[in-house]
Amino acid sequence: MGISFAHSFYLGDIMSDAEEQIRQILDPILESAGLSLWDLEFQKQGPKWLLRVYIDRESEGVTLDDCEAVSRDLGTALDVEDIIPHSYTLEVSSPGLDRVLSKPEHFIRVMGSDVKVKTYQPINGQKVFHGKLLGMGENAIRVGLEKGTVLEIPLANIAKASLEVVF
């Protein structure tokens, strides 16, 4: 489970490229703190808007202080830039130990780790796979399953993938 710090803000009008503008504001904030962006979601949930930012640090974990600092700095910068015209909630958190893998760079970064993959369509009569992420091609990932079996799973068939926490 990740750590998070949430704060509500009211701002101006939303633009079609709001996510890209948010990323441009966020990048220097994260870089100065030795952090990186894992993922960013900006979506309407019911009647409210939610801007969720997942931050990470390769060498060590993300702390509550990191989340608070990024939330404060990003919130202030977004207020000044006024790129989001309506009320929304800003939530900054770590992606957690069982982080979701949704982009090619996520898979590349965790190569060799244990993963859980759920598919839309069954492969060999199965839709849930547990194994070691062995590789990634242009259109598929390779997962090492039990007994040395290697399964290639097309990216288009992945409903959800995440790191598998093994204790």
- What are the residue boundaries of the structural domains of the chain, listed by start? 4-93, 104-163
pLDDT confidence of residue 14: 37
Q: What is the CATH number of domain 4-93?
A: 3.30.70.1350
Q: Would you call 23 exposed, middle or buried from its count of C-beta atoms within 10 A (0-12, 13-18, 19+)?
A: middle
Q: CA 118, CA 160: separation in Å to the nearest integer?
A: 5
Q: How far apart are CA 149 and CA 80, in angstroms?
A: 54
Parallel/antiparallel/unpaired status of strands 126-136 and 140-144? antiparallel
Q: Do 4-93 and 104-163 agree at the fold level?
A: no
What architecture is domain 104-163? Roll (2.30)
- Report pLDDT for 9: 38
Is residue 82 a contact partner of residue 120, using CB atoms and an 8 Å limit? no
Give the separation between CA 40 and CA 153, rounded to whole angstroms: 25
Identify the CA nearest to 52 among candidates 96, 82, 85: 96
Other CB atoms closer than 10 Å to residue 28's CB: what's the count?
11
Q: What is the DSSP letter of 58?
A: S
pLDDT of residue 142: 95
Spell out, as residue ranges, where the chain has pLDDT lower than 70: 1-16
Distance of CA 77 to the CA centre of its chain: 21
pTM of the model: 0.76
